[in-house]
């Protein structure tokens, strides 16, 4: 039994958000914009996202959910770059 004003935390199941069933997507920051916004790219598509919750700069890889960068990915594996549609340097 929970009292008024208390929130019940739902467990995370699988790779999707329990609130909206959406997945977080790794994206590369292309350019920081005013107002804690940025242009981010994944698979050739560029979109404007919020970076208010993370400390990141252009070139960083971030995890994006619902248009919000929720984490900076510190050590991007080669596979992650391939998922973003990046071509390895030759």
Total domains present in the chain: 1
Q: Residue 32, Cβ neighbours under 10 Å: how many?
A: 14
Quick check: is 4 in a domain? no
For 6-15, how does the pLDDT look when each residue is reduced to its tens digit (9 = 90+)?
Answer: 444 444 445 5
Cα–Cα distances in Å, from 79 out to 42, 55, 68, 82? Answer: 13, 23, 23, 5
Quick check: is 69 in a domain? yes
Place of tokens 């790779």: 15
Q: Which domain holds residue 43?
A: 27-83
Rounded-to-integer distance, Cα 26 and Cα 32, Å: 16
For 23-74, how does the pLDDT look when each residue is reduced to its tens digit (9 = 90+)?
Answer: 888 999 999 999 999 999 999 999 999 999 999 999 999 999 989 999 999 8
CATH of the domain at 66: 2.30.30.140
Q: Model's pTM, two decimal places?
A: 0.63
Quick check: is 39 in a domain? yes
Quick check: is 45 in a domain? yes
Q: State residue 15's pLDDT score.
A: 56
């Amino acid at each position: 039994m929970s009292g008024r004003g208390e929130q019940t935390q739902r467990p995370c199941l699988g790779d999707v958000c329990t609130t909206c069933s959406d997945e977080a997507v790794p994206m590369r920051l292309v350019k920081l914009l005013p107002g804690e916004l940025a242009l981010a790219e994944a698979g050739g598509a560029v979109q404007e996202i919020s970076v208010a919750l993370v400390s990141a700069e252009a070139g960083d890889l971030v995890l994006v959910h619902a248009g919000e960068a929720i984490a900076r990915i510190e050590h991007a594996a080669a596979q992650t770059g391939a998922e973003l549609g990046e071509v390895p340097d030759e």
